[in-house]
Amino acid sequence: MSREQFWFFHPFRVRYSEIDGQGVVFNSHYLTYFDTTITEYFRALGYDQYADSRHTGIDFHIVKSLIEYKAPVLFDWELDVGARVARIGNSSLAFELAIFRKGGNEALVTGEAVWVYTDQKSHRPVPIPKSMRDLIATRERHLV
């Protein structure tokens, strides 16, 4: 994945509490970076996921997460985490994610997260509404 594939980035700085005994970011923190970036992605689109889920009773469940480590990420590095919606299914969103050193072009870590839009009472999938599809398509031209 290249930086040019993403319109949205969220910055992070690796904190001491996020590294392991080898001096690199501990593996579970990458999912936190990805999840936070997806939240900020929606905020940048003007979509308040939290308020919408409280109003409708429908929210996303993560059903798949994948991380591919290409290079170590070290303490105090400044990072740009990119997120984009790669695919929209009937009830699912597939995100592609990548972590770059601030200003860098080489992905250090890549990932995928698949979310399913789900009724929170029945825990069954429901279709993603056209309004959400249209909002995402305003920035993800490949989905038009």
pLDDT tens digit string along 49-65? 899 999 999 999 999 99
Q: What is the mean pLDDT of the chain?
A: 96
Section 1-29 average pLDDT: 96
Token pair of 11 as six digits: 């910055």
Let me know: does 71 contact 106? Beta carbons within 8 Å: yes
Confidence of residue 143 (pLDDT cuts 50, 70, 90): confident
Token pair of 94 as six digits: 């597939």
Q: What is the pLDDT of residue 10?
A: 98
Q: Is the pLDDT of residue 144 over 80?
A: no
Q: What is the pLDDT of residue 1?
A: 84
pTM of the entire predicted model: 0.94
In the chain, pLDDT over 70 holds for what percent of residues? 99
Let me know: does 142 contact 87? Beta carbons within 8 Å: no
